[in-house]
Amino acid sequence: MAQFVNFLLLVSLIAFAPLCFCTKSNYGYLYPQFYDHSCPNAQQIVKSVVAKAVAKETRMAASLLRLHFHDCFVKGCDASILLDSRGSIISEKRSNPNRNSARGFEVIDDIKSALEKECPNTVSCADIMALSARDSTVLTGGPSWEVPLGRRDSKSASLSGSNSNIPAPNNTFQTILTKFKLQGLNVVDLVALSGSHTIGNSRCVSFRQRLYNQSGNGQPDSSLDQSYAAQLRARCPRSGGDQNLFFLDFVSPTKFDNSYFKLLLASKGLLNSDQVLFTKNEASMELVKKYAYNNELFFEQFAASMVKMGNISPSTGSKGEIRKYCRKINS
């Protein structure tokens, strides 16, 4: 009899085991406690390295936040953006959105090497990026949120995916929204996440067209405040100065707040992709107004949309790997 009971127990364990390990939670297959036992200090280590890097250069917070976005839009949040070109891998760092623009790779390396010392082969590069994006937001005064964890790292990169999936600053509102929808994100996510442009910089080359020849008619963008446009032209000439930097939110460039949305109301968005949020679509315009008037609402939605973005097609279980070095696959 005892043997039969044991047999029944074994059968039910096997039958229900997948439920125990693969149950989808509110966060999908990721959950914030993922490293609680395997690397209890993981979050603290990430935070302290990010804090040091941001103390050294405030802009690094913006760069790390953007890195997570550019990773998630290409094959999901799998750290594919971190891979250097090697063997059959062509790095996403070469793509149009990333070339001479994406930064923060050394900070991710520093975090990874600190984590490898504490708990080898345990914390993925993809999770490091998700945590760094949250910590960067908090360090600059933005909202905090619990980061669902357990992503695994990809063994490949996609240069073409990086070129086609990440929206460009001169894309139309519709194209940008379509690119978000392809990732399972909606207009609310688009507007809230664009609020990231409350910190960080853009190069002249990313918005020059607006200053001189918006629609191929030799005229500047009429939705751009003309005195602001004149200031921009002073350091972003018709040709040359491509790499000259400008604050995305010139009122409070290092503070994570809703001033980005207030600037859109005043026709002082820096990128065309910023200003179209307030000129081309009714739903988007309403959201911009809401966030401009209500910082708390912006913070709440931003946190929720960051969790949603961080949940784009994560590799879990036995897919992918935990890279030893974020810049290369293990074998």
Q: Is 167 labeled as ligand-binding?
A: yes
Phi-psi region of 241 (alpha: psi -120 to 50; beta: other; left: phi over 0): left
Among 27, 43, 50, 63, which residue sits at the site for ligand HEM (rule: CB under 6 A)? 63
Q: Which residues pair with 45 in a beta bridge?
A: none
Among 80, 162, 206, 281, which residue sits at the site for ligand HEM (rule: CB under 6 A)? 206
Size of the site for ligand HEM (CB under 6 A): 26
- Contact flag: residue 199 with ligand HEM (CB under 6 A): yes
CB of 295 to ligand HEM, least distance (A): 17
- Contact flag: residue 53 with ligand HEM (CB under 6 A): no
Residue with tokens 């890195």: 67
- Nearest in space to 35 (alpha carbons), one of 122, 145, 116, 95: 122
Q: Do 306 and 193 contact (CB within 8 A), yes or no?
A: yes
**Which is nearer to ligand HEM, 59 or 262 (by Cβ)?**
59
Q: Is 74 labeled as ligand-binding?
A: yes
Among 151, 152, 197, 208, which residue sits at the site for ligand HEM (rule: CB under 6 A)? 197
- Contact flag: residue 284 with ligand HEM (CB under 6 A): no
CB of 219 to ligand HEM, least distance (A): 22
Active site residues: 70
- How far is CA 61 from its chain centroid? 11
Please, which of residues 99-138 interact with ligand HEM by CB under 6 A?
A: 101, 103
**Which is nearer to ligand HEM, 62 or 107 (by Cβ)?**
62
- Nearest in space to 213 (alpha carbons), one of 201, 202, 224: 224
Among 50, 53, 54, 66, which residue sits at the site for ligand HEM (rule: CB under 6 A)? 66
Helices and strands counted in the chain (H then E): 14, 2
**Which is nearer to ligand HEM, 39 or 168 (by Cβ)?**
168
- Nearest in space to 305 (alpha carbons), one of 214, 185, 215: 185
Q: Is 249 labeled as ligand-binding?
A: yes
Would you list the DSSP string of 194-263? HGGGGSSEEEGGGTHHHHH-TTSSS---TTS-HHHHHHHHHHS-SSS-TT-EEESSSSSTTS-STHHHHH
CB of 96 to ligand HEM, least distance (A): 10
CB of 32 to ligand HEM, least distance (A): 19
Q: Do 271 and 197 contact (CB within 8 A), yes or no?
A: yes
- Nearest in space to 199 (alpha carbons), one of 284, 130, 141: 141
Q: Could you give the C-alpha distances from 219 to 214, 225, 240, in angstroms and in order?
A: 6, 13, 19
**Which is nearer to ligand HEM, 59 or 93 (by Cβ)?**
59
- Contact flag: residue 142 with ligand HEM (CB under 6 A): no
CB of 243 to ligand HEM, least distance (A): 8
Binding site: which residues? Answer: 71, 74, 76, 78, 80, 92, 167, 197-198, 249, 257
Interaction site with ligand HEM (CB under 6 A): 59, 62-63, 65-66, 69, 101, 103, 167-169, 176, 190, 193-194, 196-197, 199-203, 206, 248, 271, 273
